[in-house]
Amino acid sequence: SQTLKLAVIRGDGIGPEVVDEALKVLHAVADGELDVQETPFSLGAERFLATGDILTEDDMAALAAHDAILLGAVGGDPRDPRLAGGIIERGLLLKLRFAFDHYVNLRPTKVHAAVGSPLADPGEVDFVVVREGTEGPYVGNGGAIRVDTPHEIATEVSLNTAHGVERVVRYAFDLAMRRPRKHLTLVHKSNVLVHAGSLWQRTVAAVGAEYPDVTVDYQHVDAVTIHMVREPSRFDVIVTDNLFGDIITDLAGAISGGIGLAASGNLNPDATFPSMFEPVHGSAPDIAGQQLADPTAAVLSVALLLDHVGRADLAAAVTRAVEADLADRSTTRRSTAQIGDAIAGAAAAARTTTA
Ligand code: NAD
Ligand code: IPM
Ligand code: MN
C-alpha cells in the first residue's frame, strides 16, 4: 500500500489531546490502505523553556523529509513572561508557513444540519476561505522606536507582492471552478489600504479574465462580518490576505457551531515542501488537560491532509464519519477521547462500506 511519511507536532495546551484523536481516526481509516509512518516532533513551549530552542535547522531538515505535517496547536501559558509576544507562534508556526512556502491557507466552513449554529437560520452554508499564508502584515516588517516613551512609534508594514498575490488568487479561481456555484469573493479593505487593495483588485480582475465561468464580487472586510452572520450562505470561495483571513475564519468557525469544528490546511500546492494541517483554533489554555476540547477540527484537518496526498476516498470516509457523529451529538457532554473513539469507529465503518 501507499506510504505516508507523517511528521506530527502535538504542541501545547489542547494540541496533544486533539492530535491523539486525529491520529486515532487516521489509523482507523488507513488500516490496510495507507502505511502511515509517523515521526513525532516535540516542539512547542515546553521544549523552548527546557532548551531555548524553538525550531532548529536540523528540525527543519527533518520535517522537510516528510510527505505532510500534522500540528495540534502551539502557544504556552499566556501568563508566562518568557513566552510573551507570541515567541513560539512566530518562531514555529509562522516560520514553518514561510519556510515551506505555505502560500494557501485553506479554511473550509460548513454548517451541518444537526449542529447548533448560534445563528437562528443559517441556511445552506458551505464556503472556503483561501487565506494568503506567507505575506501581509505577518512578515515582521516593522519596528518600534522610542519604546516606552510618550513618543513611541510602532509600525507593522504589510507586504504584498505581485507574485504572492497572483499565485493565491489563481489557486482560489481554480478551486471555484471545481465547485458547483463557481463564485469568488475578494475580501480586502481597498477603501483605506489603497496600495495593497489595488494590487489585489487588479490581480483578481486580470486572473479572472482567464476564468469566465467564475462570477466575482468584492466585499470590504468589515462588511463581510455582517454578511457572514446575516447571510453566510451567499459565500462560496473567499480569497483574502493573511490577517483578514485569520480574523474572518475564527468568525466562520463560530457560526458553524464552534471553533472546535474548524479545520485548516497550510498548502504548498507546488509540493516543493510538505504541507501542514492543523485546526484553526489555538492551544486553548483555559480548557487544556481536561479532556474538554473538541477534537473534530483536528480530525477534519486529517481529512484535508488525506485529500492533499491524493486519497480523496479516505478523506471522504473521515468526513462522513464526522458528519455521522455530528448528527448524533446529544446534550450529554463527551470527553475529547470519547468523541475521537466515536469518529474512529464510524470512519472504519465508512471505509468498509466504500470498499
Ligand atoms: P484559542 O483558539 O486557543 O481559544 C479561543 C477559545 O476557543 C477559548 O475559549 C478555547 O477554550 C476555545 N477553544 C479552542 N479550541 C477548542 C476546541 N477544540 N474545543 C473547544 N473549545 C475550543 O485562542 P486564544 O485563546 O486566542 O489563543 C491561545 C493560545 O493559542 C495563544 O498562545 C495563541 O497564540 C495560540 N494559538 C495557536 C494557534 C496554532 O497553533 N495554530 C492558533 C491560534 C492561537
Ligand atoms: C491561526 C493562528 C495563527 C495566525 C497565530 C497563532 C500565529 O491564529 O492559525 O489562525 O494568526 O495565523
Ligand atoms: Mn487565528
d(CA 238, CA 129) in angstroms, rounded, equals: 5
State the number of CA atoms in the 13 A half-sphere of 237 facing the CB: 26
Provide the residue range defining the domain that includes 7: 1-100+273-355
Per-residue pLDDT of the chain (355 residues; tens, 9 = 90+): 899 999 999 999 999 999 999 999 999 999 999 999 999 999 999 999 999 999 999 999 999 999 999 999 999 888 999 999 999 999 999 999 999 999 999 999 999 877 878 888 888 999 999 999 999 999 999 999 999 999 999 999 999 999 999 999 999 999 999 999 999 999 999 999 999 999 999 999 999 999 999 999 999 999 999 999 999 999 999 999 999 999 999 999 999 999 999 999 999 999 999 999 999 999 999 999 999 999 999 999 999 999 999 999 999 999 999 999 998 887 788 999 999 999 999 999 887 665 5
> Three cell numbers at 165?
498575490
Work out the number of other CB atoms within 10 angstroms of the CB of residue 25.
30
pLDDT value for 113:
79
pLDDT value for 354:
56
DSSP alpha helices (H): ranges in 9-161?
15-30, 45-51, 57-64, 87-88, 95-99
Residue with CA at minimum distance from ligand 1 atom 30: 282
Q: Is there a single domain that holds both residue 284 and residue 176?
A: no
The verdict on whether residue 291 carries a ligand-binding annotation is yes
Q: Is there a single domain that holds both residue 115 and residue 248?
A: yes
Judge whether 266 lies within some domain.
no
Residue 249 near ligand 1, beta carbon < 6 Å:
no
pTM over 0.95: yes
Q: Is there a single domain that holds both residue 237 and residue 116?
A: yes
Residue with CA at minimum distance from ligand 2 atom 1: 280
Judge contact between 53 and 21, C-beta under 8 A.
no
Say which of 59, 110, 138, 325 is annotated catalytic.
Answer: 138
Q: Is there a single domain that holds both residue 192 and residue 61?
A: no
Say which of 59, 67, 246, 325 is annotated catalytic.
Answer: 246
> Three cell numbers at 84?
510573551
**Number of residues that this document lists for the chain:** 355
pLDDT value for 191:
97
Residue 300 near ligand 1, beta carbon < 6 Å:
no
pLDDT value for 351:
76
ipTM for this prediction: 0.98
CATH number, position 202: 3.40.718.10
Backbone dihedral region for residue 45 (phi beyond 0: left; psi -120 to 50: alpha; all else: beta): alpha
User: What is the bridge-based pairing of β-strands 126-132 and 237-240?
Assistant: parallel
Tell which residue, 280, 234, 260, 233, has the closest CA to residue 326.
260
> Three cell numbers at 288?
487544556
- Is 138 a known active-site residue? yes
Judge whether 267 lies within some domain.
no
Judge contact between 252 and 109, C-beta under 8 A.
yes
Residue with CA at minimum distance from ligand 1 atom 40: 73
- Is 246 a known active-site residue? yes
Judge contact between 200 and 220, C-beta under 8 A.
no
